[in-house]
Amino acid sequence: MSDPGSVPPALQDAILAWYASHGRALPFRETADPYAILVSEAMAQQTQAERAGEAWIRFMAGFPSVAALAAAAPADVLRAWQGLGYNRRALDLWRAAGRIVERFGGAVPSGLDDLESLPGVGPYTARAVAALAFGLPVGAVDTNVRRVLSRIVAGGTEAVAPDDLQRLADAAVPPDRPGAWTHALMDIGATLCRPRRPDCGACPARPWCRYAGSAAVTMATVRGRGVVREAAAPFRTTSRWLRGRIVDRLREAPNEEWVILDDAIGGHDPAAVEVAARALAKEGLVELDVSSRAGIRARLPIS
């Protein structure tokens, strides 16, 4: 689809009015500090916003500034990240703080190119920080926003090419309210315009939405009845679960203390534990000592 359409002013007004009454009250939405917003966006990736909000309060108390985070030991950052999952995000954020101190004098940059030069910051995070912290009229497109905009203008998420959708997202931003607009689209996608069983009746975009007027809505509300789906593998059997448990075990040890990994964890035998630990070490999430006869030893990185 070469022309994804546009978002009329009346639709913008309806979405912003809905957000004013129904937007989620999240603690990190009360700040305009670019660093605090960068931390919140790093946390909210692949984590429920409410859980990220609770962790954000604790994290900001421990690392209240870019300089404080950059000066911290990575082990301390990983401990503070406990409960959020995807621990690589913690190290990326720590590395980003170091880059900000070294290259930008300790101030989070406002330009998209500079933001995207930071470890762990991609197009979505860069645009979210630019819109929320600096008031730039750019559209942050995550999974929720992609679904909302694609359904409104084209009737479905597969109908708009990524480049076209980004142009639409940028053009749709009200120049005077980029922050509220960004939050509003995220909230609509998270609470109303869900992948399955969307609540189109409560959505402020319904009068303009091609998806809401299509048969797809009816199908979405009944899909799954009587359908037999293959059960997903139990989470405890996955390498992601094992990696998280290894990092959690190391979090419990004092700084610089080695932990011997010579036993099974969950249903994973010692060989699988060693494979997972070595993979974590390659990513910089743990340090290994393989010289001990007692077995492989690991700790959180101390520098």
Residues catalogued as catalytic: 41
Q: Which residue has the tokens 């035998």?
A: 269
| Number of Cβ atoms within 10 Å of the Cβ of 111 | 12
Residues near 42 by Cβ (< 8 Å), separated by ≥ 6? 89, 92, 93, 96, 120, 125
Measured between alpha carbons, how far is 19 from 205 in angstroms, rounded to an integer? 12
CB atoms within 10 A of CB 258: 16
- Three-state DSSP at 289 gives strand
Residue 177's closest CA among 138, 219, 218? 138
Length of the chain: 303
Least Cα distance to 246 among 272, 220, 226 occurs for: 272
DSSP state of 12: H
